[in-house]
Amino acid sequence: MTYNALIVGLGQIGMGYDLEFDPQERIATLARAFASHHAFNLIGGVDTSAGRRELFVAHYAKPAFSNVAKAFEVAVPEVVAIAVPTEAHYSVVVDLLARPGIKVILCEKPLSYDLAEAEEMVELASRADVRLYTNYMRRSDRAVIEVRRRLLSGEIAGPVKGVCWYTKGLFNNGSHFLNLLQFWLGDVVSFDVISKGRFWANYDPEPDLKIAFEYGEVYFHVAPEENFSHHSVELLAANGRLRYEQGLMQWQPTITDKNHVGYTILNLDRETIESDTLFLQTSVVDKIARDFAGEVTTICTGAQGLSTIKVLTEIRKRL
């Protein structure tokens, strides 16, 4: 069985990031992920930009519309992926939930900059019996899922202590890694603001933080995006080090130091944990297909995305 999918928002994550790549080499957008998955039929795209609509039609040979209402005049999708600016998430979700036939809404992260809006989005979706997901795509990566398994089984011995680097705002990019670490280390227990920092683009805070999770603590540090983009997580466990950077997941176990009696060191031979780095959006879409098939998946639910926004909101109150 195939499900009709509509993309609302044809910017970078909706369509732009992988236009210049062969689909066999990289799938980094929602349009390409849905268009290439056997369980879905991409029926169209929505964007206010005529140029983006023309580009979508040229690449996907599917119709593009200036608004959601016009798209629904042609066909009713079971799945809608939202990739408009965060400020518009709420209004688009509310509009969609008032329309019949939708079973799944995949909304880009964060659900909203406003906690009350995010809470209402989750509540309205629940009432409408529509599955709302937040596109924190790393939760669908097999490497991330494997690390979670190792943490839960004790193969990576907790509690852990770590460092996370992020750029371009706590809500915009930092939230990806807060959500990831909630997936790995459990709920946020407490946090401390080390430095209030600045605001990216005058609205998104960039503090340095110490965040305590159920199974460890992680220091979040911001780097200037104008110098270069940088995102990484390093976790030190009792039996090794995990490093996640530029999509590469590596584990270094501890070994006995042959040169110094009584010392334990990290093995220079690193295990690379196989990842879906170049096909993360495909992994997300595949999790939606598996959800339709009744399987349990790790895709980030609206409620889980909301839990991240609650922490972000509390942090922002202290700045």
Domain boundaries, the chain: 3-137+282-302, 142-275
Output the pLDDT for position 212: 98
Q: What is the mean pLDDT of residues 160-169?
A: 98
Residue pair 64/46 in contact (Cβ under 8 Å)? The answer is yes
User: Which residue shows structure tokens 């044809």?
Assistant: 10
Res. 8: pLDDT tops 90: yes
Band of residue 191 on the pLDDT scale cut at 50, 70, 90: very high
Output the pLDDT for position 188: 98
C-alpha 78/C-alpha 41 separation (Å) is: 10
Residue pair 199/206 in contact (Cβ under 8 Å)? The answer is yes
Output the pLDDT for position 75: 87
C-alpha 281/C-alpha 288 separation (Å) is: 11
Q: What is the mean pLDDT of residues 168-185?
A: 97
CATH top-level class of 142-275: alpha beta
pLDDT, one tens digit per residue, over 247-262 is: 999 999 999 999 999 9
Whether 3-137+282-302 shares its CATH topology with 142-275 is answered no
Q: Coil, strand or helix: which one is 113?
A: coil
Kindly state the percentage of the chain with pLDDT values over 70. 100
Mean pLDDT of the chain: 97
Q: What is the mean pLDDT of residues 303-315?
A: 98
Res. 104: pLDDT tops 90: yes
Q: Is the dihedral of CA 46, 300, 91, 75 positive or negative?
A: positive
Tell me the pTM: 0.96
Residue pair 220/182 in contact (Cβ under 8 Å)? The answer is no
Res. 144: pLDDT tops 90: yes
CATH of domain 3-137+282-302: 3.40.50.720
